[in-house]
Structure 1
């Protein structure tokens, strides 16, 4: 063994690099830009000093730092305003979540920052509710007033799959909501707020009565928690600032004031939900070594860096710590990416993904063939490789490429090893082919890499052992196209290295020309029943 796979591949690498190594052919090759894009999530009033300081003092430094590394630094802060059209059509939350997803997708390293204080945050009304669930909630609503409001504001859309009830634009029921007359607009806004709160509370009560706690929580939770749930898909890439009375905890990197509006019952419920979010959910997602503590005295104004020197120093230290941490994370990630991307293994995998993508373009037909492949993939009892054979020019390679694409459309957690033999130097020689395939599998499953210099028999044994790494929650598909393109030296086309039986959770598809002079197909007929 020469080095640990974990030295090259771990959760700190960006999603793009991981997906390349797992053989996901839908990734963009190469990525359109090198970007650090961070979504900032928070309630607004109680974290404005922290956010403003970062915006004014720290983000410009991080922008310059990232530029020196060859990256563009971007910050998305939806609290600075959303277009009125989005508010009217209830699209604000959806727009926020799309931005969170975009940051998670394209950002190298840090992608999400949330500032938590004493406010749990605004709780919105669900814009879309599946028809079956909506009708159950409607029937369970406690008052006729709530039912009348739900009937007024929600319209069933049978064109959706499944059918869905959709919350209608505010102006479609209250036209003055988009009036240019400020007094009319204000009254319309107050009317909408009242009716919205009535519906939201009615849906919450009904959901808690007839749904399980997990299903009903979406009607209870705040927009901030919704953003956090989405942003913490990859907890390693999240930064959380969390302020408490007398101390501030910087978790992942977590930031304190009570809910400003609502009944006492609503405020108490918000406090409990915030405590659960901060003390339970986030601590289960964020690494413990990302937690820093700041002792700080609270005032009736909350944080007041203008008149309180200690608060000013706290803001500055928090900003400096934030800057230092993001820089350290970025330096480590960039170095890991450089180490990995410059390896022959990554370049080999990359080339075959590009080739696979090209072969999938404008491919149509062969439904019967793909049905056979799908049946093979879905049958756990089949423990042998699937053989695709046909004359030169019959489209075998395109079929193999599409098989990979179709497999990814049904199994999002799988790892796919793709090799189009003969298209690269390392896929033409049996020794370099097996070394590359074995080390790709071992990298993805976070195992030690093997070193060059093994005999074909040793590589064949190692190949079989490596296939055993597959597991139910992380299945493995190996696709080897054009076995007949292997260099004949070393007896590669005798296929003694190819397993005739596969471990659980492993599927293998191979293709070859059928003519005897290429040796492969006759050997497969003997070794695979």
Structure 2
């Protein structure tokens, strides 16, 4: 029995929502995501509702997240949880990746075993690197088994990090975090690379220091999934060779199969990992499964014009591919008149998503009292509109209020 296939089919019958997880590098795909959001998602939402009686949702979990928080451990765990939900519950297509020329930034580990962390401190000191930042951000947690150093919350180290009433103090705290994050990333990269060369740390231990969110999500959402899931996944690859020509040249000049890896800049090593994922693993999967991988190449002399044409073609291809997958996954279903059980399932998923977003709230909101008054009926019978620019926390605010005032 194909457990994955049966589980997926049973889940599709219970779910009344097409949920697609969008995997990408946020800095590299701003234009593509904006075009899809404005031109394609509304059409697909209408198509799902009128053709199949389904809801349509794309989970772009970088939307509304402060750029300084994108690589946080909590945000990465939240993204993987949302990815899991899409794989399990989507009524059809569940995963789309937009892949370009960037491997993506790596985060810093949430937890490091005591022996490993103290070894990093000793090696850093012997190499003349500062350790005060690492010691400030990581604290020893004796309750962990085995004992480990755990990354402290930003609000504990920088009390003004989430201070919305004092913009200047908040900006200064963000600047400190940015500098400290960069320094910790460089320290980990330098020391762990040397330890790998010496064999004092195992490659599997080192993965947490060098794996980007893009790779983690591709591994979790595509590479480690069975064929029954892959048939509902799509990868759109856009190659712009001239942007990374110098990195490819460095990699080509390596001596031997391993090459002088320690002498290569980290940017080149990261690009090598991207090439392995993008140009080897994904195409190989596509040849042995129903995974769809589309590749476009933009040439240097006309990259600007070609980029615009690529985005237009991407929007058309995205719409066509998703419609086909929705139709094939729901060809034996009819638009429901009344499905109480399905509504209950959807409600439970919304509650779970609400709790996940609410867990990102680390500070008090002055707007909560206004929302509470509206909910309990002290405001006039008019719509409540929450306004704010990108990354100002609108979704997190509403999720926090929904969780706290659910039973009023």
Q: TM class, shorter-chain normalised? A: 0.5 to 0.7
Structure 1 residues 360-401: Cα deviation after superposition (integer angstroms, max 9, x where no partner): xxxxxxxxxxxxxxxxxxxxxxxxxxxxxxxxxxxxxxxxxx
2:140 corresponds to 1:168: no
Structure 1 residues 103-140: Cα deviation after superposition (integer angstroms, max 9, x where no partner): 12211332222211122222211122344543444444
How big is the shift at 1:155? 1.6
Q: Which residue of 1 aligns with 2:36?
A: 54
2:212 corresponds to 1:222: yes
What CA distance in whole angstroms lies between the structure 1 residues aligned with 2:122 and 2:241? Answer: 47
Residue segments in structure 2 that go unaligned for 5+ positions in a row:
247-263, 334-408
CA RMSD in angstroms comes to 3.6
- What is the DSSP-based 3-state SS (H/G/I as helix, E as strand, rest coil) of the residue aligned with 2:38? helix
What CA distance in whole angstroms lies between the structure 2 residues aligned with 1:295 and 1:121? Answer: 19
What CA distance in whole angstroms lies between the structure 2 residues aligned with 1:295 and 1:214? Answer: 34
- What is the DSSP-based 3-state SS (H/G/I as helix, E as strand, rest coil) of the residue aligned with 1:230? helix
Structure 1 residues 226-271: Cα deviation after superposition (integer angstroms, max 9, x where no partner): 2222222434332212111279xxxxxxxx7899xxxx93333332
19, 23, 28: which one pairs with 1:41?
A: 23
Structure 1 residues 39-71: Cα deviation after superposition (integer angstroms, max 9, x where no partner): 112222432222222211222222223222232
What CA distance in whole angstroms lies between the structure 2 residues aligned with 1:216 and 1:201? Answer: 14
239, 244, 247: which one pairs with 1:244?
A: 239
Structure 1 residues 307-357: Cα deviation after superposition (integer angstroms, max 9, x where no partner): x3x54443222221222122222222234x76xxxxxxxxxxxxxxxxxxx
2:8 corresponds to 1:16: yes
Native 8 Å contact 2:237 2:295 kept in 1: no
Native 8 Å contact 2:12 2:90 kept in 1: no
More helix by share: 2
What CA distance in whole angstroms lies between the structure 2 residues aligned with 1:88 and 1:42? Answer: 13
Pairing 1:204-353 to 2, within 5 Å after superposition: 204-208=189-193, 209=195, 210-232=200-222, 233-234=224-225, 235-245=230-240, 265-287=265-287, 290-298=292-300, 304=304, 308=305, 310-335=306-331
Indicate how the Cα distance of structure 1 residues 279 and 146 shifts in structure 2: closer, same or farther if over 3 A, else same.
farther
Higher RCO, Cα 8 Å, sep 6+? 2
Native 8 Å contact 2:98 2:235 kept in 1: yes
What CA distance in whole angstroms lies between the structure 2 residues aligned with 1:74 and 1:29? Answer: 15
57, 71, 81: which one pairs with 1:98?
A: 81
Structure 1 residues 397-423: Cα deviation after superposition (integer angstroms, max 9, x where no partner): xxxxxxxxxxxxxxxxxxxxxxxxxxx
Indicate how the Cα distance of structure 1 residues 41 and 185 shifts in structure 2: closer, same or farther if over 3 A, else same.
same
- TM-score, normalised with respect to structure 2: 0.63
How big is the shift at 1:143? 4.2
What CA distance in whole angstroms lies between the structure 2 residues aligned with 1:51 and 1:29? Answer: 26
- TM-score, normalised with respect to structure 1: 0.50
Structure number, greater radius of gyration: 1
Range with greater deviation from structure 2 (143-152 or 72-81): 143-152
**Aligned positions, number:** 302
